[in-house]
Amino acid sequence: MKRRNFLGCLLRAGAFLPFSFFNNGKADAAGAPATQVPLSQLTAPWSVAEFEFTKRIKTHRGLQPSTFPGYIIRLPDDVGRQIGLKQNFYAISRICPHEGCPIKFYHQRSEVPRLLEMGDFPNPLLVCTCHQSVFDPAQGGKVLDGPAPRPPWTFDFVIEKGRIIIKDLEPGGEKWG
């Protein structure tokens, strides 16, 4: 899916929050505004915040900035410890590794027929809006169903002064940028 189509899908799905919402206007080394998510948005287990991260990527016109949408999910303490998360936060790309469609986070299985078909799961899941790949955040994004070849790409981040600061995207995550 082309980038323009991806953003169109996000807008139609109502899954897009303004970049400036999570942004304090400071610039990172690449000249892009730093992406910061207040911890106050993520106080409860399974709370989730959307963000966008801008990174320069190689294109046929040289290095160009590209913006990648992401989720930060706060996992319950026991789950986060089990899979080795930094302070129980799981930061992932909202771009599906299959063909680049938007991934959405669902608290309730009842919101998605595909999840109802799959039976019981103890926690919220991520589902691709195109071919319905299902990812489990409690297992490091493991693909539970569908054609996705791998879990969603992750973001590196630090936690400072009550904020999560996104630092980089996992190599390969710019594939659909």
Binding site for ligand FES (CB under 6 A): 96, 98-99, 101, 128, 130-131, 133, 146-148
Residue with smaller CB distance to ligand FES, 37 or 148: 148
Residue 148: Cβ-neighbour burial (10 angstroms; 0-12, 13-18, 19+): buried
Tell me how far apart the alpha carbons of residues 139 and 151 are, in angstroms, rounded to a whole number.
10
Pairing relation of β-strands 134-136 and 142-145?
Answer: antiparallel
Least distance to ligand FES from the beta carbon of 98, Å? 3
Least distance to ligand FES from the beta carbon of 96, Å? 3
Least distance to ligand FES from the beta carbon of 8, Å? 15
Residue with smaller CB distance to ligand FES, 91 or 127: 127
Residue with smaller CB distance to ligand FES, 78 or 117: 117
Residue with smaller CB distance to ligand FES, 98 or 163: 98
Say which residue the tokens 């659909």 belong to.
176
Tell me how far apart the alpha carbons of residues 114 and 150 are, in angstroms, rounded to a whole number.
19
What count of other Cβ atoms lies within 10 Å of the Cβ of residue 27? Answer: 9
Tell me how far apart the alpha carbons of residues 146 and 135 are, in angstroms, rounded to a whole number.
9
Least distance to ligand FES from the beta carbon of 173, Å? 14
DSSP 8-state symbol, 91: E
Residue with smaller CB distance to ligand FES, 102 or 124: 102
Least distance to ligand FES from the beta carbon of 103, Å? 7
Q: In what order do the strands lie in the sheet with 89-93?
A: 48-59, 62-74, 89-93
